[in-house]
Structure 1
Amino acid sequence: MTAPFAADARTPVELLHAYLRGGTPSVDPAAPLVTFYDDATGERVELSARTFDNWVAKTSNLLQDELNAGPGDRAALLLPAHWQSAVWLLACWSVGVTAVPAGDPAAADLVVSGPDGLEAAQACGGERVALALRPLGGRFPHRPDGFLDYAAEVPGQGDRFAPYSPVAPDGEALETSVDGLPLKLTGEQTVALAREGAVRLGLKPGDRVMSTLSFDDWAGLEAGLLAPLAAGASVVLCRNSQGLDAGQWEKRAESERVTVRLG
């Protein structure tokens, strides 16, 4: 029996590192890892594993050095399924911060919010980061009061990251939900569930997975990021795509070489 992709990985970040190592024609770190469409704006962004990792490193340095975040902290992520949301998830796991998609800002040590969540995010008593989610990673025209503008802060961060405290596989990594029931996972448990999902979905190295699911629960995180990463596959995230007809979906799937469609 063939060993699963990245069989020795025990944290989500180690899955990304395995992807970066490549080593097979199906897993190329220079090929697209995350492709993102916003059909409300016409935006399309494509990031190779290397480019994605660079964003993760910069965001991790921002978290650790500017926001003073570390193991034991909880980050409420009020973000849609977006390429920058995927970056923030991996950055949290790089630093050892527990990621809480759609979490309660009042119960979090820091909050990261898109434009739609800024009012709710003000309930956080810790650091607040705002993402404009504009095409090309653009800034807010006017920075929201009480928030750091991610697009203004991240470019100056370092391109390499090393955590001050080692991130333990048995440390808490993710708070999410399954069928409305709360789920708390360590890094190792997150990887194990991602692998199970990859098997259930029939994913293999080199697959292209297209997802329209939200990152607010496990189903969307599994489909749009974690199961593909565990399988050595890549993702095509589609946002605001409700108006696309069958022909448009077919054309997109063909142009992106999609092998699995979810949502």
Structure 2
Amino acid sequence: MNASDRTPADLLRSALAADPARPLVTFYDDATGERVELSVATFANWVAKTANLLQGDLAAGPGDRLALLLPAHWQTAVWLLACASVGVTAEVGGDPAGADLVVSGPDTLEVARACSGERVALALRPLGGRFPAPPAGFADYAVEVPSQGDRFAPFAPVDPDAAALRVEDVELTAAELVERARADAAAWGLEPGARLLSGLPYDTWEGLSAGLYAPLAAGASVVLCRNLDQLSPEGLTKRIESERVTDTRT
């Protein structure tokens, strides 16, 4: 990664320039048996489409706050990078009543209704499937995102010193986030090409770093596992071998 990268969006651009075909996020849901692998290029395309949705249809911009009510999931990782691309502050587990807009999974829709701004819902179904019936008062992400553009350019440059992420009542600027991700990558010994398996939830900095930011900062990739407690020890050993995992955070 480039030393000049100061935002998560910069890190993704550098990863795309270095090797667009390599895996970036491999997602497992051990409650459903789902497995999804996204290359850097595919992940970046999802981020671009989501950022266009966020900036265009949802009219969000720098300084806005988005309550992100989603579990550790590949689509959550996409939203985190989309927010960083636009300059929106992602508040993980944030209060919808105090947010400018909210993005919710299927289990937090009632809580998300407290947001008076734009509301987006994700079904979190395999292959990014839509809701059988759209939740009242929400835009269905799976319906809205496919038609968005494959390239993204922010209306205003993203300020590295502006708030980018809030988790566990700690707020980080984009530059602080990148520095913490780099420090974690160094502390965990992540090298370019490494494969980090994370079973940590996304409601802590450690979970977010292990499940996205540190591998991205290191030129590595993540095997992101949801409901890992439903996998047997033998199954975990087999996954570590088959996915060529070099480090684990569970």
Find the aligned partners of 2:84 and 2:29 in 1 and give their Cα distance: 26
Whether 1:193 aligns to 2:159 is no
Find the aligned partners of 1:125 and 1:91 in 2 and give their Cα distance: 21
Equivalent positions of 1:114-263 (< 5 A) are 114-177=105-168, 182-263=169-250
Find the aligned partners of 1:8 and 1:166 in 2 and give their Cα distance: 16
Contact 1:203/1:233, CA 8 A, preserved across alignment: yes
Which residue, out of 8, 23, 45, partners 2:4? 8
**In structure 1, what residue type is equivalent to 2:241?**
E
Find the aligned partners of 1:75 and 1:261 in 2 and give their Cα distance: 30
Find the aligned partners of 1:190 and 1:114 in 2 and give their Cα distance: 24
Instruction: Quote how far apart the aligned CAs of 1:176 are.
Output: 1.0
Equivalent positions of 1:69-148 (< 5 A) are 69-148=60-139
TM-score normalized by the length of structure 1: 0.94
TM-score normalized by the length of structure 2: 0.99
Whether 1:58 aligns to 2:54 is no
Secondary structure of residue in 1 paired with 2:229: coil
Instruction: Quote how far apart the aligned CAs of 1:246 are.
Output: 1.4
Instruction: Quote how far apart the aligned CAs of 1:243 are.
Output: 2.1
**Equivalent residue number for residue 42 of structure 1:** 33
**In structure 2, what residue type is equivalent to 1:95?**
V
Contact 1:198/1:227, CA 8 A, preserved across alignment: yes
Find the aligned partners of 1:194 and 1:150 in 2 and give their Cα distance: 28
Query: Structure 1: 5+ residue runs without aligned partners?
Result: 23-27
Find the aligned partners of 1:170 and 1:44 in 2 and give their Cα distance: 36
Whether 1:18 aligns to 2:14 is yes
- Alignment RMSD, CA only? 0.7
Contact 1:56/1:87, CA 8 A, preserved across alignment: yes
Find the aligned partners of 1:159 and 1:214 in 2 and give their Cα distance: 29
Query: Structure 2: 5+ residue runs without aligned partners?
Result: none
Contact 2:31/2:230, CA 8 A, preserved across alignment: no
Find the aligned partners of 1:217 and 1:74 in 2 and give their Cα distance: 18
Cα displacement string for residues 3-62 of structure 1 (whole angstroms, at most 9, x for unaligned residues): xx321100011011111111xxxxx32021000001111110000000000000000000
**In structure 2, what residue type is equivalent to 1:188?**
A
Instruction: Quote how far apart the aligned CAs of 1:110 are.
Output: 0.4
Contact 1:6/1:230, CA 8 A, preserved across alignment: no
Find the aligned partners of 1:156 and 1:111 in 2 and give their Cα distance: 21
Find the aligned partners of 1:147 and 1:215 in 2 and give their Cα distance: 23
